[in-house]
């Protein structure tokens, strides 16, 4: 298997922190159920520019670091934002690489990654972003092979609660993730069925997944069998009050044949308008500083994930994801892949 990687002090602040913190913990006790839906009539994915501008001013300093470290983030004097590693908590070890992203006209940095595996390669890997420099568009990634048990723990710290989908009129409350899938209607049997999936996520400082997308494919040496793309996002509601929510703005899932095989691609754009408010409520003015002094609470998250299966049984995958807007400096990236079809 191969990979490549292109606070204020005082009683008031304390009480707010405790209240919001307790509410967020309560969120983690909620549950969800899965439901398949057909989004074949959705418009092609489009990049909708964020109206938010971000500042590249320094967000480092003792006060900022002291406050953000409470939620798993530290900021060094050179401007690098460091995130606590989840891989270390499950005993996985790996290698780090530093990649340089591509900055777009709105200031967002897009990062890409890819990999491949030979037929019969059953290993699973997890890659997490452990540091990010918003001024230079650089990111440090930690990649490690993981067991099924380790992977279940890593992908299980999402605080899964209610979700939201989209309509032409805007976000619509829902309790289910969104999945698009197809199965080839055929009774033909083959000796070997190959499988591959890729899952990418944008994760907040307390390891709640803000947005995630998963693409997967099953195939044989002669035809494809199944493909699926699922999307999920965080919506935290306590006693009917939603403290934080993320919804889908646009999405698509093109599938087709490629030379010697088949390819499924998932594209999705998520938006959140409340995460920054939570950060400021918990950390006060220094939370605002750590966020880069945003003038809007809007944050946008993009995922583009592809899985290719070859008739030889080999597979490859790639992703190209970006984040922009308020407090996204505090959000880190994670991706996982394996030779299975978890849909």
DSSP for 37-64, please give it.
Answer: ---TTSPPP-----S-----S---SHHH
Residue 3: enclosing H or E segment and its boundaries?
Answer: strand 2-4
Question: Which residues, listed in sequence order, are joined to residue 131 by a DSSP beta bridge?
Answer: 82, 140
pTM of the model: 0.73
pLDDT in tens, 226-241: 999 999 988 766 666 6
Pairing relationship of beta strands 138-146 and 95-100 according to DSSP bridges: antiparallel
Average pLDDT for 206-222: 92
Please enumerate in sequence order all residues whose Cβ is within 8 A of that of 338, keeping only pairs 6 or more positions apart, or say none. 122, 123, 124, 125, 151, 196, 197
| Residue in this structure with the two tokens 């919506």, named with its chain if needed | 235
Is 222's pLDDT higher than 90?
A: yes
Q: At 208, phi and psi to the nearest 5?
A: -95, 130
Question: Which residues, listed in sequence order, are joined to residue 123 by a DSSP beta bridge?
Answer: none
| Residue in this structure with the two tokens 């777009």, named with its chain if needed | 104
What pLDDT does residue 302 have?
96
Alpha-carbon span 177 to 189, nearest angstrom: 32
What pLDDT does residue 315 have?
97
pLDDT in tens, 16-31: 333 333 333 333 333 3
What pLDDT does residue 243 have?
65
pLDDT in tens, 54-109: 333 334 444 444 455 555 688 888 989 999 888 988 999 999 999 999 988 877 88
Average pLDDT for 149-163: 62
What pLDDT does residue 186 have?
55
Which residue from 228, 286, 299, 217 is spatially nearest to 258, judged by alpha carbons?
217
DSSP assignment letter at 158: T
Which residue from 206, 213, 295 is spatially nearest to 252, judged by alpha carbons?
213
Is 206's pLDDT higher than 60?
A: yes
Please enumerate in sequence order all residues whose Cβ is within 8 A of that of 56, keeping only pairs 6 or more positions apart, or say none. 107, 134, 135, 292
Average pLDDT for 191-199: 93
Q: At 71, phi and psi to the nearest 5?
A: -115, 30
SS (H, E, C) 102-152: EECCCCCEEEEEEEEECCCCCCEEEEEEEEEECCCCEEEEEEEEECHHHHH
Quick check: 151 and 221 in contact, CB under 8 A? no
CA atoms within 13 A on the CB side of 214: 21
Residue 12: enclosing H or E segment and its boundaries?
Answer: helix 11-27
> Helices 11-27 & 275-283, crossing angle to 10 degrees?
140
Q: Is 295 or 242 the better-scoring residue by pLDDT?
A: 295
Which residue from 98, 303, 99 is spatially nearest to 202, judged by alpha carbons?
303
What pLDDT does residue 154 have?
83
pLDDT in tens, 252-301: 999 999 999 999 999 999 999 888 887 777 777 777 777 778 788 899 99
DSSP track, 225-269: EEEEEEEEE-EEEETTEEEEEEEEEEEE--EEEETTEEEEEEEEE
What pLDDT does residue 2 have?
67
Where is average pLDDT lowest: 135-144, 271-280, 334-343?
A: 271-280
């Amino acid at each position: 298997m191969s990979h490549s990687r292109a606070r204020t002090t005082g009683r008031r602040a304390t009480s707010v922190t405790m209240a919001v913190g307790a509410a967020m913990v309560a969120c983690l006790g909620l549950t969800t159920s899965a439901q398949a839906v057909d989004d074949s009539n959705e418009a092609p994915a489009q990049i909708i520019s964020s109206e938010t501008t971000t500042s590249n001013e320094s967000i480092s300093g003792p006060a900022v670091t002291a406050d953000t470290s409470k939620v798993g983030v530290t900021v060094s004097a050179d401007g690098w934002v460091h995130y606590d590693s989840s891989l270390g908590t499950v005993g996985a070890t790996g290698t780090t690489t530093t990649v340089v992203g591509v900055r777009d006209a709105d200031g967002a940095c897009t990062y890409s990654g890819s990999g491949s595996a030979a037929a019969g390669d059953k290993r699973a890997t997890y890659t997490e972003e452990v540091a990010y420099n918003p001024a230079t568009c650089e990111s440090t990634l930690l990649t490690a092979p993981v067991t099924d048990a380790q992977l279940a723990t890593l992908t299980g710290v999402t605080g899964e609660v209610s979700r939201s989908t989209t309509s032409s009129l805007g976000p619509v409350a829902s309790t289910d993730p969104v999945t698009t899938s197809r199965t080839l209607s055929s009774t033909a049997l083959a000796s070997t069925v190959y499988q591959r999936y890729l899952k990418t996520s944008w994760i907040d400082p307390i390891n709640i997944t803000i947005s995630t997308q998963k693409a997967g494919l099953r195939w044989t040496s002669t035809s494809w069998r199944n493909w699926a793309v699922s999307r999920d996002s965080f919506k935290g509601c306590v006693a009917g009050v939603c403290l934080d929510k993320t919804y889908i703005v646009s999405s698509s899932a093109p599938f087709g044949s490629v030379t010697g095989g088949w390819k499924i691609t998932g594209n999705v754009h998520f938006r959140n308008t409340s995460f920054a408010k939570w950060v400021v409520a918990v950390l006060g003015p220094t939370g605002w500083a750590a966020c880069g002094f945003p003038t809007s609470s809007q944050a946008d998250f993009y995922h583009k994930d592809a899985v290719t299966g070859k008739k030889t049984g080999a597979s490859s995958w790639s992703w190209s994801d970006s984040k922009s807007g308020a407090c996204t400096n505090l959000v880190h990236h994670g991706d996982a892949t394996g030779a299975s079809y978890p849909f």
